[in-house]
Structure 1
Amino acid sequence: MPTSSFDYLNDELERLRDKGMYRLPTVWSGGSGPWMELDGRLLLQLSSNNYLGFAGHPEIRAAAMEAIERYGAGSGSVRTIAGTLDIHDELEKELADFKGTEAALVFQSGFTTNQGALSVLGPDDLIISDELNHASIIDGIRLTKAERAIYAHADMDQLERRLKENDGRKRAFIATDGVFSMDGDIAPLPAIVELAERYGAYVYVDDAHASGVLGRNGKGSTDHFGLHGRVHVQIGTLSKAVGVVGGYVAGADVLKRYLIHKARPFLFSTSHPPAVAAACLAAIRLLRRSQPLIDKLWSNANTFRSRLQKEGFDTGASETPIVPILIGQPDKTAEFSRELLNEGIYAQGIVYPTVAMDKGRVRCIVTAAHTPDDLTYAVERITAVGKRTGVLR
């Protein structure tokens, strides 16, 4: 007989706690930055996606405040009824010009962008996905009526086999992250594009962690590899390096018009508050003159990674500002992260089911806002914890 008790949920939560997989959100005082306050302590922040420090940039803040004065707090409606204001339209035109595409369509988040764009695929389509793609791609694929296939991470031989097996039966779409969020490696996009062109497939790239990081002025992985006009669907984020919130699809104008009619997260969600759209617009314009800041981001990342490797840490396949320290089992990963917190460093452990059970890691993210002294402090404290916990022998 049904009861009103949720004890069964507590039982599951206790199992997660026993395995080192229980975690509630950390509540910070103040905004995002290289040092953040937690319970009265200043901690070096190594878990933020605020790659360029844009979250607190004065130009972006000023744009948001000006938009509130002009438009008010909310947009009042979904985009297809009365919720598309001129500031939303201006943002999409700016994004399309920045990405070098015909059009762009903005969604409420990067997650809903993938859900909206992928869910429109139908029974005549095939979606082939890298096994390490982000959860939002996986969930978007789950919503489709398309046939699905997986290829081993960055394995071009297996991807080609999947394309051969299709043999032109269905329209094939290859989906990949541009930068993989857990390992920090870059997708082999030129090889993916070459296979797509050989077999008549479409290429779909999620640049959540490449937006503002890869390419000229942070235009993403397509620009990084010089593949303009050869990638059919570019997904971007307006959080992370851009510093605000949202996501977008950049591509052909016909694709935009189709998604406006078919993508359910777009159709049934109220549009961004005008202040968010204005802040995103200011951030994209700021990116156009931020190459020195992006260069500093990469210098910081390469320095930090090489110093950790020199101390003996395994940073896996990292080649971007995402620098994982591979630990192993969830309980050991949680212990390492707790010890770092005691040393004044906030670097979250990432464990199963986000990664494989034996692939737990403390994922460090380096930003352009970190100073040389910050990085030195981080390496010294991480090394001390590594020796104390037995991660370093």
Structure 2
Amino acid sequence: MIWEELQGELDALQHAGLKRRRRTLEGPCGPQATVDGRDLISFCSNDYLGLANDPALVEAACAGARAWGVGSGASHLVSGHLAPHAALEEKLAAFTGFPRALLFSTGYMANLAIVPALVGRHDAVFADRLNHASLIDAVQLSRAENQRYPHGDLSALEHLLTASRARRKLILTDAVFSMDGDLAPLPGLLALAERFDAWLVVDDAHGFGVLGRQGRGSLAHFNLPAARRLIYMGTLGKAAGAAGAFVAAATTVIEWLEQRSRTYIFTTAGSPLVACALDASLDLIAAGDARRDHLWQLIAQWRDGVARLANARWRLLPSPTAIQPLVIGDNHETLRIAGALYERGLWVPAIRPPTVPVGSARLRVSLTAAHSAEQVGQLLDALRELA
């Protein structure tokens, strides 16, 4: 029976140490979390600048609700595109250096919009093997030929591009990889895109607001121009502290996405109060050098502390970003370590397959500007005991 099959598969996930558990927070997003009445220090969120509960964003959202209500009422192309949406798109375009920007409800929906709108049958996508699930799904929806290159390997990508006879070519990559924390070689990727007349789509979910001058993102980090063949996606629910996403690109590209992106056309526009909050968020990001400097100090403290742990089996990946993965390896051992930390009042997520490759289960430590050096020290002390 179908129900018994489902239960059997759930039991198999449990046995393999792969069943996920959802926890309910009893307070706003921040480094201090309360779960089931228990106070914890959270190293789980992607709120990299600590803006999710910032008073300026809360006040902007409240003012936006009073002026514009709560819902947009329709899709952007019907009657749901309100003045706060238009103002935010203009501000995002100026902030990232592109001619135009287009808002989406989530980063997942933005990625599902871009790829199928630009390529299809008889075309080819060249994707990094460690790309986010949304990018993988976007390629499948496009029906284009899917060619995956080894993580960050420009030579392998060049070989695939040289051999391809596809009508259109699209290079697809995360900017900051969400489970490893490392950066894509964006200058080399753009050079290959120019050489082989390909689109370059960059998902900067974990770089926007954090990297580059004034937090303008991974392209700014590498001093890359807003080239015509570049399509830039940034999410607004991580460092920006709210919700949604945007795509920034040349005017023609944005106009095409407006006409052909199903996840833009056939969904209700986001709340105007969120757009108002994000308008305030961009100001805080631009003026957020002190937050980012504090974050870099915490990253250095963490990496220095882990290097001193007496456990050769654990491996800290070479990440320069706020995502700091500590690879344990075995699923059950990773769960055990995460559980032991939880009992000590430290909440660190255990990441297991299929999110990461088999045998590379890990603790994914997310550091934010809202953390203190003392809180990072507590995590290091606990790991030192467990090591």
* Alpha-carbon distance, 1:172 to partner: 1.3
What is the CA–CA distance in structure 1 between the aligned matches of 2:67 and 2:226, rounded to whole Å? 38
Please, which of 151, 162, 166 is the counterpart of residue 153 of structure 1? 151
Task: Give the alignment of 1:150-299 within 5 angstroms.
Answer: 150-166=148-164, 169-230=166-227, 232-299=230-297
Give 2:351's aligned amino acid: I
Give 1:352's aligned amino acid: P
Gaps in structure 2 of 5+ consecutive residues: none
Aligned to 1:116: 113
Tell me if the contact between 1:302 and 1:321 (Cα under 8 Å) persists in the aligned partners: no
Task: Give the alignment of 1:128-147 within 5 angstroms.
Answer: 128-147=126-145
* Alpha-carbon distance, 1:302 to partner: 2.0
Aligned to 1:390: none
Instruction: Give the secondary structure class of the aligned counterpart of 1:364.
Output: strand
Tell me if the contact between 1:322 and 1:365 (Cα under 8 Å) persists in the aligned partners: yes
Tell me if the contact between 1:316 and 1:325 (Cα under 8 Å) persists in the aligned partners: yes
Q: How many residues align?
A: 382
Give 2:323's aligned amino acid: I
Please, which of 304, 307, 328 is the counterpart of residue 306 of structure 1? 304
Aligned to 1:384: 385
* Alpha-carbon distance, 1:123 to partner: 2.3
Aligned to 1:66: 63
What is the CA–CA distance in structure 2 between the aligned matches of 1:253 and 1:296, rounded to whole Å? 37
Give 2:316's aligned amino acid: T
Aligned to 2:318: 317
* Alpha-carbon distance, 1:14 to partner: 0.8
What is the CA–CA distance in structure 2 between the aligned matches of 1:297 and 1:12, rounded to whole Å? 41
What is the CA–CA distance in structure 2 between the aligned matches of 1:159 and 1:309, rounded to whole Å? 33
2:35 aligned with 1:38? yes
Q: Which moved more, 1:339-348 or 1:292-301?
A: 292-301
Aligned to 1:334: 335
Gaps in structure 1 of 5+ consecutive residues: 388-393
- Structure-2-length-normalised TM-score: 0.96
2:355 aligned with 1:354? yes
RMSD: 1.3
Cα offsets for 1:151-208 (capped at 9, x unmatched): 00001110001110115x4221111110000011011111111222222222111000
What is the CA–CA distance in structure 2 between the aligned matches of 1:301 and 1:355, rounded to whole Å? 22
Please, which of 79, 88, 96 is the counterpart of residue 93 of structure 2? 96
Identity between Structure 1 and Structure 2 (%): 36
Tell me if the contact between 2:226 and 2:249 (Cα under 8 Å) persists in the aligned partners: no
Tell me if the contact between 2:57 and 2:277 (Cα under 8 Å) persists in the aligned partners: yes
What is the CA–CA distance in structure 1 between the aligned matches of 2:168 and 2:301, rounded to whole Å? 44
What is the CA–CA distance in structure 2 between the aligned matches of 1:137 and 1:384, rounded to whole Å? 39
Instruction: Give the secondary structure class of the aligned counterpart of 2:308.
Output: helix
Cα offsets for 1:137-163 (capped at 9, x unmatched): 001111003222110000111000111
Instruction: Give the secondary structure class of the aligned counterpart of 2:247.
Output: strand
Instruction: Give the secondary structure class of the aligned counterpart of 2:29.
Output: coil
Tell me if the contact between 2:180 and 2:317 (Cα under 8 Å) persists in the aligned partners: yes
Give 2:221's aligned amino acid: H
* Alpha-carbon distance, 1:224 to partner: 0.4
What is the CA–CA distance in structure 1 between the aligned matches of 2:51 and 2:172, rounded to whole Å? 28
* Alpha-carbon distance, 1:38 to partner: 1.1
Give 1:227's aligned amino acid: L
